[in-house]
Structure 1
Amino acid sequence: MNISERLTQTATENPSKAAYIFQDQETSYQELEGAVTKFASSLKDLGYEKGDHIALVTGNSPYFVIGLYGALRLGLTVIPVNPIYTVDEMSYILKNGDVKGVITMDLFVGKFEHMDKNLPDIRHYIVAETSQDMSWQQSSLSDKMKSFTMLAQAGSLELDRPTLDDEDTAVILYTSGTTGAPKGAMLTHKNLYSNAKDVADYLKYSSDDRVIAALPMFHVFCLTVSLNAPLMNGGTVLIVPKFSPEAVFAMTKQWQGTVFAGVPTMYNYLLQYATEHVQDFSSIRLCISGGASMPVALLHSFEKAFNVIVSEGYGLSEASPVTCFNPLDRPRKPGSIGTSIWNVENKVVDELGEEVPAGEVGELIVRGPNVMKGYYKLPEESSVALRDGWLYTGDMATMDEEGYFFIVDRKKDMILVGGYNVYPREVEEVLYNNDHVTEVAVIGVPDPNLGESVQAFVVVDDSRITEEELTRYCAEHLAKYKIPATIEFLEELPKNTTGKILRKNLREQVKQ
């Protein structure tokens, strides 16, 4: 079974049920199934064959959903790409990923005009029309362009589907490349299906659920938790084109959303917006947080404000992505990423790969049907990440006596101060507990005497707050070597498109 076959099953079982809602328009499972099959048929007519690579460069929209499922139905390997990447960033992925076709939107045609001459292997740009401005049709790429809408309408419903093996590569997800060039994690049909099914069942998704897709669909968090998982169990996806607190609250109220998934920054924005505008979030039965550790103070504030449980989980691209969630059948533990989801094993090990006792810090490793087959064209990196059937995550964690895991920090983010280990998250949690701190990120910076020292970047809601005041506050709660040597005030912390704080940018800022 794979996610494309599962969509066909659901469309047969409940054809009139809404699969997704976009811009006030409901699309049924039967309509989605038809569009997916026709789009796959049109791709076949254009000469695409099982195993070819096709890039998906769109915003949150039906084009992403139909493009993804249509390409997978034909046995193509899909490479989702962040549409706001620069020409250089995107060119690297399209070249490295051996892409033969690109599914995109008219808004981004200009970007491809700049890079096409360096991408000789790309046969077509399949363009979704989103505006009345048709000037893009006079593009220098017009001979390679095909209309997405035409392909999704003109194809045949009589598609001779290729046989898809569980281990065939379905998707290649390029990691953010915080160190070196991005690496393409190869996820199989089995990886995608197993994780979507296990997440849907673990979180008790049903056909009554309306899951808000406000995270970027090209990111694996949204791809699995907010798109594939609800479609797995016959739910409805509420597509938010671009995250904003106003858009999320409006979509939730109008369509009675039941599940919201986001990163901690999104929860912070929702909470801040709601302090100024009264909002109704009462239809939401469950909130899911991932992508980064959620500050405990923020978790408590959000739950109190909206009377809803926030279940924090954990995942990474290489694991499709989910490995842990706080269980729904008992109280969740603040600060914990929860326990292993069904069919997935997690454990904490030392440098030799031996499991450490409960409460001790080690590296989190993962095993299960969701773990990637390797990095595309990178056998050495694959062998480092995948050892003896386990995926080494690079995240430092502990596990308590009840099997709950707690992320301490990224292995590479740990700060070594005079021989002592300092985990940024511990310092960040203390600063988040200060009533005036709304955002914080902590990094290590070179120190001639101690090797490294702690530097904090904070966003506050009161310009009268001083560095000395926050330093004194830290001194009340932290050992001396953990206290930030420097605290810098910023208007906003740098973030990627999923809202994850970019420590890499802060490190570069310090070097300048």
Structure 2
Amino acid sequence: MNLVSRVYETAKWQPDKTAYHFMGKDTSYADFDQSVSMFASALQNLGIQEGDHVAFLLGNTPHFLISLYATMRIGATAIPVNPIYSPDEISYILHNSDAKAVVALDALIPLIEKAAGAFPSIGHYIICETSPEAGEKLAALPETLKTKVLLFSQVITTGRPDFQPVPVDENETAVILYTSGTTGHPKGAMLTHKNLYSNARDVGDYLGFSESDRVVATLPVFHVFALTVVVNAPLLKGATVLLIPRFSPQDVFATIRKEQATVFAGVPTMFNFLYQYPEGNPEDFQTIRLAISGGSSLPVALLHNFEDKFNVRVSEGYGLSEASPVTCFNPLDCDRVPGSIGTNIINVENKVVDEFGDEVPRGQVGELIVKGPNVMKGYYKMPEETAAAIRNGWLYTGDLAKQDEDGYFYIVDRKKDMIIVGGYNVYPREVEEVLFAHPAIVEAAVIGVPDQDFGEAVHAFVVLKNDASLTEEQVRDYCAGKLAKYKIPEQMEFLDELPKNTTGKILRRSLKTHIGVKSPR
């Protein structure tokens, strides 16, 4: 059994049940399955075969759901990519992933026109229309590109509605998710059909998902948290996914009220914006049986404030891309523990160990490691990184944690130096390397600082060459073409030198004492 075959079966036994709702329109499981069949067949017609890689530059639209399940249906591998990444970031992933086709938003047509020549392995760009101008933009493309750039609406009509799923071994790679890397480049976590199916099944069972649930999907669906919790798990259980194109408190409240939503999942930033929204009231969440927070730690004060205002229990869990992602969650059948990430979910084991891999006593801090059918097969084309991350069947998360006497886990500190901005991971080195490339910058270091709205913000410390002069705005403008918006430093200090130890290593913890102490230059 896998996700594709499960949806295929659901379409047979409850064909008229709504699979997803988008922009005022319901789509049944039968219609969804037919669209998946047609697009899968159409991809084969374009030469995409079992084992090939297809990248998605898509947001929260039906195109993503159809593309994901169609790609898996032919045994190809899906590569979800954040469409708001910078051209450099997108370019790296497309090259590294060996993508043979790209399914993209029409807003990216100018980028495709500019960069298509740099990707000779990509045979087709399939454009998803989200605006009336899509056809006109395609018509204006050079003749050399018109055979490679196609409209999704036209491609899907070439497929067969009776196309049967290709039999795929459960250990074959279904999805490669690129995670920010401490080496300056993201790593592609290879998740198998077994990984995805087992985690969706176990999360769905743990959270009590059923066909009567209506799950709000305002988290970006290309992110692993959303992929499992608000897409795969609900579809596996025959529930309804309520797709919201982009997060806004007004749209979330309106969707919950109008569509009688039963499950809401978000990152702490979303909970904060919903709590702060002046027009929010308890009635807005009265149909919600389960509110889920993940992506980063939810401040306990915000948790209590949100629960008091909306009369709903908020439950936290923990996960990471390499584990498909969920490993821990607060149980629903007993009191949850504020500040805790909960206990082991079904079929997954978490353990806190010392530097030798030996389990530490309860209450003692160590590294959190994970074992289960959800753990990735490895990083794409990175055997050394894979060997370092997976040892004796255990995934080493790099997160410091502790476990109490009742079996609840607590994250004490995150992976060294990582910054989480609104639920997105930012590793300092990837920002620092961009800063270092500026001709006027001689040194740079980046840390995370508290931010009221997004949990954390990127704070940069910059040392300029003696004869150089730069403003904060000039540095941000420089970063804008090379980094996603959330990775661009919100705050900045210009220092004469960075604090270092005797070996020349930058002392990141000491940098916090320099905040607000700017160089006269």
- List aligned pairs for 1:310-349, cutoff 5 A: 310-349=314-353
**What is the aligned partner in structure 2 of residue 299 from structure 1?**
303
Q: How many aligned positions are there?
A: 440
Residue 185 of structure 1 and its aligned partner are, at CA, apart by: 0.2
Can you give the 5+ residue segments of structure 1 that lack an aligned partner in the other structure? 415-423, 426-440, 444-451, 461-499
CA contact (8 A) 2:103 2:125 kept: yes
Which of residues 413, 417, 436 is equivalent to 1:413?
Answer: 417
Q: Is residue 181 of structure 2 the alignment partner of residue 180 of structure 1?
A: no
**What is the aligned partner in structure 1 of residue 399 from structure 2?**
395
Residue 162 of structure 1 and its aligned partner are, at CA, apart by: 2.5
Which of residues 201, 205, 209 is equivalent to 1:201?
Answer: 205
Alpha-carbon displacement from aligned partner over 1:122-148 (angstroms, at most 9, x marks no partner): 100111112111321122332201221
- List aligned pairs for 1:391-470, cutoff 5 A: 391-413=395-417, 456-459=449-452
Which of residues 361, 376, 380 is equivalent to 2:380?
Answer: 376
Residue 510 of structure 1 and its aligned partner are, at CA, apart by: 7.2
Q: Is residue 307 of structure 2 the alignment partner of residue 285 of structure 1?
A: no
Can you give the 5+ residue segments of structure 2 that lack an aligned partner in the other structure? 421-425, 429-444, 454-483, 496-517
Q: CA RMSD in A?
A: 2.5
Counterpart residue identity of residue 66, structure 1: I
Residues 46 and 412 (structure 1), Cα distance of their counterparts in 2 relative to 1, 3 Å cut: same
Q: The residue matched to 2:328 in structure 1 has which SS? A: strand
Alpha-carbon displacement from aligned partner over 1:340-389 (angstroms, at most 9, x marks no partner): 10000000001111100000100000000000000000000000000010
- List aligned pairs for 1:109-188, cutoff 5 A: 109-133=109-133, 134-137=135-138, 138-140=140-142, 141-177=145-181, 179-188=183-192
CA contact (8 A) 2:34 2:162 kept: no
**What is the aligned partner in structure 1 of residue 196 from structure 2?**
192
Residues 92 and 382 (structure 1), Cα distance of their counterparts in 2 relative to 1, 3 Å cut: same
CA contact (8 A) 2:5 2:165 kept: no
Residue 274 of structure 1 and its aligned partner are, at CA, apart by: 4.1
C-alpha separation in 1, matches of 2:82 and 2:49: 24
C-alpha separation in 1, matches of 2:397 and 2:147: 44
Residue 183 of structure 1 and its aligned partner are, at CA, apart by: 0.3
**What is the aligned partner in structure 2 of residue 485 from structure 1?**
none
Q: The residue matched to 1:186 in structure 2 has which SS? A: strand
**What is the aligned partner in structure 2 of residue 105 from structure 1?**
105
Residue 278 of structure 1 and its aligned partner are, at CA, apart by: 7.7
* More off after superposition, 105-114 vs 151-160: 151-160
CA contact (8 A) 1:178 1:504 kept: no
CA contact (8 A) 1:105 1:128 kept: yes
- List aligned pairs for 1:221-370, cutoff 5 A: 221-274=225-278, 280-370=284-374
Residue 506 of structure 1 and its aligned partner are, at CA, apart by: 6.7
Residue 159 of structure 1 and its aligned partner are, at CA, apart by: 2.3
CA contact (8 A) 1:211 1:258 kept: yes
C-alpha separation in 2, matches of 1:329 and 1:83: 38
Q: The residue matched to 2:174 in structure 1 has which SS? A: strand
**What is the aligned partner in structure 2 of residue 81 from structure 1?**
81
CA contact (8 A) 1:249 1:279 kept: no
Residue 157 of structure 1 and its aligned partner are, at CA, apart by: 2.4
CA contact (8 A) 1:288 1:311 kept: yes
Residues 459 and 329 (structure 1), Cα distance of their counterparts in 2 relative to 1, 3 Å cut: closer
TM-score using structure 1 length: 0.82
CA contact (8 A) 1:198 1:342 kept: yes
Counterpart residue identity of residue 209, structure 1: D
**What is the aligned partner in structure 2 of residue 496 from structure 1?**
none
CA contact (8 A) 2:203 2:345 kept: yes
Residues 88 and 142 (structure 1), Cα distance of their counterparts in 2 relative to 1, 3 Å cut: same
Structure of greater relative contact order (alpha carbons < 8 Å, 6+ residues apart) = 2
Residues 310 and 457 (structure 1), Cα distance of their counterparts in 2 relative to 1, 3 Å cut: closer
